Amino acid sequence: MDFEALLKVVGHFGRYQKCFLLLVSFMVLINTTHLYIQVFTAGKSDHWCQSWVNEDCPTDIDDADLNCEDFKKALSIPMVDNDTSYEQCTKYNVSGIDLQTAIDLGDDVTKLNVIPCDEGWEYDRSTFPSTIVQDFELVCGKSYLPNIAQSIYFAGYFVGSALGGLAADTIGRRLSLLLNIACSFVVGLLTMFSPNMAIFITLRFFVAVFLKSIGIINFVAITEVVAPSKRVLVANFMWMFFAGGYFLLSGMAKLIGNWRLLTLIFTLPYIPLFVITFFFLQESPRWLITRRDTAKAQKVLSRIASVNQRDIQEEEIQKSCDVDAPETTKTNEAVGNLAALIRSPTILLIVVNMSFNWAVQSLVFYGLSLSTSSLGIDPYISFIISGAIEIPAYFSCIFVAEWLGRKGATFTTMILGGLCCCITPLIPIGIPRALVAMGGKFFITMSFSIVYTWSAELIPTPLRSSGIGLFSLTSRVGGILAPLILLLDQVWTSLPILVFGSFSITAGLLCLLMPETKGKPLPASVGDTKLLYKKAHKAEDDEDGKNEDNYKPIDVSEKPALA
């Protein structure tokens, strides 16, 4: 009995898998808020130099249009833009001049020298009551630091993409998930108490490392315990919670206002998440079998069957595992690391193709998201639409991936997304162009979701977490390149979106070189993946009379798994 048949016996999408999916989806929701929280915690607001910090306004000042702080501001800050706004980084040199003297000088104050702010800044807190910009005075000469912080956060994603997969393949899905949840809580809590920007940036880096690891481990773990027909449904259910994180974050940020309290609110959920994971989540039985720990795998499968209310004897599970073990545990011990991904030419071809695909997906996704202000409509409306359109995209690909298959769906959506990008420059600026560009975002969101499931179905079990981690790592490269490609608009306004479209079409065409995995068992060894690839290219005859619909994992005992 192969593992898919065994999983069907204990329940391949029963109560256990559904509860697991809800747990994972809630983690995705919370992780999304941490990803985008700096949009609000580092929100930019108007600012100006402080003057006479410790002095009160004279009691005889009576101006209905100016309060005391505005009065100080009018006396000490130069006006710019035809006297419509105040200078943000300089002031008149009123050092040594008390407020009453400045009042007596009147317009003569404007004859004083202009100097940089020497007493700190005041901020317009009407939109953002409390931010790191205000607390750490990240304005004027330090205004670039929030961008550096976000770049370093994505560098943490880069590291987490590699370490998360390696940890899951080495010590198991459950233990590595628990460790990352605990670390996320600790580091998130410390971030709230950051005394300066250097510590804030450092802690945010580690937050990204642990959260990205959680995402990779969760995706792999849930994929390994559901039926092949449910994998796309599971993945897109999770992605809908990712999109829901936008709305949760914006609503809470508007309600809370204080960046430290907002950070705390989105960190506290890791406590119940850890407790629920510890008591509910079982180790991946598929991973245990590849580690030759069939005794523990039997216990896990029995618990899953119990939660799924399946009436099955433990002896039956034991017998099934004993039959299945020789086929799935003779894989070379060395396959549990990233180096094994490139030792087999077949695996190497898959890894290179999928790595390029992931990088392009990220490149086009973030490129379109960052360029919404160039579409000729209100930038806030276009940005909201850009985020909201992800929900129907995730919902649609549940059906498209089952209808066209993983390869057909990824090919179709990437080609359509690329074509939308390429024709966007031909559309008049305004609502028509925005609709076409958002069509590109819709299709690339679909393909980005489908490729997660497709990748997990191509990489063998001992390497699955490491493989997904590697693909996620390469996707960070696309995210880094997207803002740089947007700079090409200085050469030609339409050049960036044409570059995005060209890359999308190229990656879509390369999908045709990959095998289809819809309805197939997850490969348990490198040999299984090689067989999938060879059958897709008709490189060998099916000597044992099995067709693709009856495909089962091959016995790799006759030759080295990495040959």
- The distance in angstroms from the start CA to the end CA of the chain is 26
Whether residues 360 and 279 share a domain: the answer is no
- Calpha distance 248→271 (Å, rounded): 19
Closest by CA position to 351, among listed 361, 363, 362, 341: 341
Of 339, 291, 300, 338, the closest CA to residue 318 belongs to: 300
Asked whether 161 and 216 are in contact (CB, 8 A), the reply is yes
Domain annotation covers residue 232: yes
Residue length of the chain: 563
Indicate if 236 and 272 belong to the same structural domain.
Answer: yes
How many structural domains are present in the chain? 2
Give me the pLDDT at residue 153, please.
Answer: 84
Range of the domain at 448: 339-556
Per-position pLDDT tens, the chain of length 563 = 466 777 778 888 889 999 999 999 999 999 988 988 887 888 778 888 888 777 777 766 655 556 777 777 777 888 777 667 788 888 888 877 877 777 777 767 777 788 888 888 888 887 788 889 989 988 888 887 887 787 788 788 888 877 887 888 888 899 999 999 999 999 999 999 999 999 999 999 999 999 989 988 988 888 888 887 787 788 778 888 887 887 788 788 888 889 999 999 999 999 999 999 999 998 988 888 878 888 888 888 888 888 888 876 666 666 655 544 444 433 343 344 456 666 777 778 888 888 999 999 888 887 776 565 455 555 446 556 767 788 888 888 878 888 888 888 999 999 999 998 888 888 777 777 778 888 888 998 888 888 878 888 888 877 777 777 788 778 878 877 776 777 677 778 778 889 999 999 999 999 888 888 887 777 877 777 777 777 766 643 343 334 434 434 333 333 333 22
Q: Is the model's pTM score more than 0.75?
A: no
State residue 310's pLDDT score.
81
Q: Tokens standing for 2? A: 């192969």
Q: Which CATH number goes with the domain that contains 11?
A: 1.20.1250.20
* Sign of the CA dihedral running 343, 349, 355, 356: positive
Domain end point (choices 328, 363, 383):
328
Which segments of 140-269 does DSSP mark as H helices, in order?
145-171, 173-192, 197-223, 231-256, 259-267
Nearest to 405 by CA among 229, 225, 552, 223: 229
Please tell me whether residues 477 and 541 are part of one structural domain: yes
Q: Is the residue at 333 inside a domain?
A: no
Does residue 87 lie in a domain region?
no
How far does Cα 51 stand from its chain's mean position? 43
For residue 75, being part of any structural domain is answered with no
The residue behind tokens 């180096």 is 339
Based on the domain organization, do 267 and 413 belong to the same domain? no
Angle (nearest 5°) at CA 103 between 100 and 105: 115
Q: Are residues 30 and 171 in the same domain?
A: yes
Asked whether residue 239 falls in the same domain as residue 348, the answer is: no
Please tell me the predicted confidence (pLDDT) of residue 335.
40
Note the pLDDT of residue 559: 32
* 529 shares a domain with 410: yes
Structural tokens at position 350:
């898959």
Quick one: 266 and 350 in the same domain?
no
Rounded-to-integer distance, Cα 431 and Cα 417, Å: 18
**Domain end marker among 270, 294, 328:** 328
Q: Are 205 and 192 in contact (CB under 8 A)?
A: no
272 and 348 in a common domain: no
Distance (Å, whole) CA 539 – CA 63: 87
Same domain, 263 and 353: no
Residue from 303, 309, 307, 312 nearest 284 by CA: 303
Q: For residue 537, tell me if it sits in a domain.
A: yes
pLDDT at 271: 96
CA pair distance 500, 102, nearest whole angstrom: 57
Nearest residue to 467 (alpha-carbon basis) of 529, 394, 549: 529
Q: Say whether both 39 and 11 belong to one domain.
A: yes
pLDDT at 179 (0 to 100): 95
Domain stops at, among 328, 356, 391: 328
Do 324 and 472 fall into the same domain? no
Handedness of CA 370, 375, 378, 381 (dihedral sign): negative
Cβ contact 533:350 at 8 Å = yes
